[in-house]
Amino acid sequence: MIERSMHCIIVLLLLTLFCSTINLPDESIKRGDAYFDLMRYRDAIAWYNLDSSKAEAQWKIAKANVCYGDIALKSEKEQYFRAAEKAAQRSIALESSNSNGYTWRAAAIGNIAMYEGSAARVKSCNSIKADVLKAIQLNPNDDIAYSILGSLYREIGNISWVEKQLAMTFIGKIPDGGYLESEQSFNKAIAINPELMRHWYELGLLYTYWGKKDKSIEAFEKAKMCPVLIASDKNKLIDIEKRISGQ
């Protein structure tokens, strides 16, 4: 009994020493960032959760969930995107002046829209636009927000006039915008951060939709030169090779 008690005391002392050494509340976000950079998103989320009372931790949880959802099994994707939306909402509630909460809520909603019906998708379009415009208002250098706005405008531009009128009659108004606004938004994102693969890749998709083949190939070639920063970039590179080769 004495031996067992001594063992418990030693374990408690070691845990106390460990926690005081890493200063857990201050270090958990940094450790989460380190795991995020290693593309170990669930480990990153676990560390961010240790400091979940901070807005920074919550929007980073949202970001990590979106990034993991992008590469998760098809049957698992939705749960990570919905977890991302909840974390982004918590971030906004904790610090409404932080642009990242709005940016990553928009990213989450955009992915969740794939699992919704037509009426919900129209509502999602309006929510995404409102969130990214709010993010840009708070931080004019938020390249991710501009990039998401570019993707939104591109998809809106791919909807025919007839479809838009039908949507207004039976579902709800689709936000204004199209290919030109999409191009402008991507160019702003690229001007802020030309090293992010997503911006060039999504611009390449826009030019593909638009029928501007030479420009799409140029954008895809630029995307290929960007570093792989998140796991889904690897999938983008595979798709880029197929698109450039005409497969």
Q: What pLDDT shows up at residue 247?
A: 55
Handedness of CA 45, 63, 103, 108 (dihedral sign): negative
Given pLDDT bands bounded at 50, 70 and 90, which one contains residue 156?
confident
Does 170 score more than 50 pLDDT? no
What are the phi and psi torsion angles at 37 (to 5°)? -65, -30
Query: Closest by alpha carbon to 206, among 192, 227, 228, 190?
Result: 190
> Span 177-196, mean pLDDT?
95
Q: Which domains does the chain have, with CATH numbers?
A: 28-115 (1.25.40.10)
Helix count and strand count (H, E) for the chain: 13, 0
Model pLDDT for residues 65-79, shown as the tens digit of each residue: 999 999 999 999 999
The reported pTM is 0.84
